[in-house]
Amino acid sequence: MGKLSTAQLSSLGDSFLKMAQSVGEYRVENRAGLTLKQNNEIREIHRTLLNYADYFYTTSAKLMMDDIAGSLDRVRDITARVKRTYTRLKNFQKAIDIAAAVVRFGAAIFSKNLLAINEAIESIEEETKK
Amino acid sequence: MNRFLIISSRITVIFLLFLAGCINLKELNRFASNSSRNISKFDELAYSFRKACREKCLIAQFENKSLIQDCICRDEKTADSVLQVVYHVTEGYFDGLVKLSGNDLVDYRFNSLTNSLKEGNFGGLIITDRQAKAFARISALLSHAVLDAYRKRKLGEFIDEANEPIRVLLEAMAENLQSNLQGRLQTQRERMKSYYFDLLEDAGSSGYEKKNIIEEYHRLLNEMESRESKLNSYARGLKAIAKGHQEIYTNRNRLNAKEVRELVAGYAEDVRDMIDEFNKIKTED
């Protein structure tokens, strides 16, 4: 037998759940006519069917990873590129601010003002630290 | 005359570049933002495979009237980790789209450059105040046009590549929640019903105790119904996001068209409605 798909496993879970529901209904509706032993037996069957249903649902959820592994990798890769593009565009503002600081530095050199040169150097340092 | 022609052609190029970059991403940004918000509601589901497992163990303890119960939830932990991974990856993708389509991303501030380029004589170079301001204005216009066009092109590429895998993930997650986790909720409800039936049947229970048992049963039933509603609402939200992404993908080359913008805005609204619906569901968790 080949491997069951996640959809088939979920469907099996549904089938076992329905069987369990029917058994549970039967026990509730016929409780008065059941002996203690019969009641216990039916309750045990009910529990077992529910456990099977749980198993199929959980296994289906676990195996879903096999179905989506490729898609996960692709979306992860695209997201990394989206973030890189965002950072690149964001950094453009930084480049403008650094360029402005460099222009101020150039102007200060032309002005031959030592204080202005010092301030301009500090300004470049600050911008490049951001 | 020649100089006039050169200036005119430069202005035309700048204007065309500006138009090319003048792309309205408002609707896309709203859709991505609502999608990201909707996906992040995962943390508020208040139900998981592990929780289902622990509650199953609790019922077993009640039935056996014992504290001792082997409660192994290893498989459930793995099942939850699958959901967690899909949640983080899809949320990360839409979060990236929100940032990249944000209005403020390419609104660069050139004030610093304008302030630096003041009127003055820089060695042999003379810059007038008018020239300095014009330079800053043209820089802003050009950078906005070029970089906005670049961002639009990149967004188109990302949406194109992501459409199929993101839909696979969103639909798989919705299916997992609606089929498997919902299934676990149903089995738990069935166990609870059986347990409370037996409790009520217990010959030792007085009328007052029976009343309390019935009240507790209904309180737990309501809680389960709320969980179920949340799972359904969340899963429907994921499906709406997948559908919206598909529409954006189909129309990715004409996002500026009025009808496409209205369509995307409609999906953004649908997703927001799902968030509102989800928020209205009350749980006792």
**SS3 labels along B45-86:** CCCCHHHHHHHHHHHHHHHHCCCCCCCCCHHHHHHHHHHHHH
Q: Regarding predicted confidence, which is higher, B38 or B14? A: B38
Cβ–Cβ under 8 Å, residues B48 and B78: no
pLDDT tier, B165 (very low <50, low <70, confident <90, very high otherwise)? very high
Closest Cβ–Cβ partner in B116, B168, B187 for A103: B116
DSSP symbol at A13 = H
Most A-contacting residue of B47, B86, B127, B186 (CB-CB within 10 A), to test interface: B186
| Two structure tokens written together for B171 | 């639909």
Closest Cβ–Cβ partner in A60, A75, A89 for B169: A75
> Is the CB of B180 less than 8 angstroms away from the CB of A47?
no
Helix (H, G, I), strand (E, B) or coil at A71: helix
pLDDT of residue B123: 55
Q: Which residues of B touch A67 (CB under 8 A)?
A: 168, 172
pLDDT of residue A15: 97
pLDDT of residue B10: 53
The C-alpha atoms of residue A9 and residue A53 are separated, in whole angstroms, by 9
pLDDT of residue B228: 93
pLDDT of residue B18: 43
C-alpha distances out from residue A109 to A24, A102, B253, Å: 91, 11, 50
pLDDT of chain A, 130 residues: tens digit per residue: 568 999 999 999 999 999 999 999 999 999 889 999 999 999 999 999 999 999 999 999 999 999 999 999 999 999 999 999 988 888 877 777 777 777 777 777 766 666 777 777 777 677 666 6
Cβ–Cβ under 8 Å, residues A97 and B112: yes
pLDDT of residue A130: 62
Cβ–Cβ under 8 Å, residues B283 and B226: yes
Spell out the SS3 assignment of chain B: CHHHHHHHHHHHHHHHHHHHHCCCCHHHHHHHHHHHHHHHHHHHCCCCHHHHHHHHHHHHHHHHCCCCCCCCCHHHHHHHHHHHHHHHHHHHHHHHHHHHCCCCCCCCCCHHHHHHCCCEEECCEEECHHHHHHHHHHHHHHHHHHHHHHHHHHHHHHHHHHHHHHHHHHHHHHHHHHHHHHHHHHHHHHHHHHHHHHHHHCCCCCHHHHHHHHHHHHHHHHHHHHHHHHHHHHHHHHHHHHHHHHHHHHCHHHCCCHHHHHHHHHHHHHHHHHHHHHHHCCCCC
pLDDT of residue B23: 45
> Is the CB of A89 less than 8 angstroms away from the CB of B147?
yes
The C-alpha atoms of residue B194 and residue B238 are separated, in whole angstroms, by 34
pLDDT at B6 over 70: no
pLDDT of residue A112: 66
In the chain, the amino acid numbered A18 is K
pLDDT at B14 over 60: no
pLDDT of residue A55: 97
| Residue B125, phi then psi, degrees to nearest 5 | -95, 125
Q: Does the structure's ipTM exceed the value 0.85?
A: no
Tokens 């969980």 identify what position? B227
pLDDT of residue B262: 82
> Is the CB of A92 less than 8 angstroms away from the CB of B198?
no
pLDDT at B19 over 60: no
Q: Which residues of B touch A104 (CB under 8 A)?
A: 116
pLDDT of residue A97: 75
pLDDT of residue B52: 96
Say if B270 is an interface residue toward chain A (CB within 8 Å).
Answer: no
CA angle A46, A50, A52 (to 5 degrees): 120
pLDDT tier, B13 (very low <50, low <70, confident <90, very high otherwise)? very low
As a whole number, mean pLDDT of residues B94-121 equals 74
pLDDT tier, B124 (very low <50, low <70, confident <90, very high otherwise)? low
Is 0.90 topped by the overall pTM? no
With a CB cutoff of 8 Å and minimum separation 6, the contacts of B145 are B14, B17, B18, B19, B20, B21, B22
Give the least confident one: A50-64, B157-171, B266-280. B266-280
CB-based burial of residue B211 (10 Å sphere; 0-12 exposed, 13-18 middle, 19+ buried)? exposed
* Percentage, residues of chain B above pLDDT 90: 47
Say if B248 is an interface residue toward chain A (CB within 8 Å).
Answer: no
As a whole number, mean pLDDT of residues B14-38 equals 71
pLDDT of residue A111: 67
| Residue B120, phi then psi, degrees to nearest 5 | 170, 180
Q: Regarding predicted confidence, which is higher, A122 or B191? A: B191
Q: Regarding predicted confidence, which is higher, A38 or B17? A: A38
pLDDT at B260 over 60: yes
pLDDT at B67 over 70: yes
Q: Regarding predicted confidence, which is higher, B251 or B181? A: B181
The C-alpha atoms of residue B152 and residue B24 are separated, in whole angstroms, by 9
pLDDT tens figures, B227-258: 999 999 999 999 999 999 999 999 887 777 77
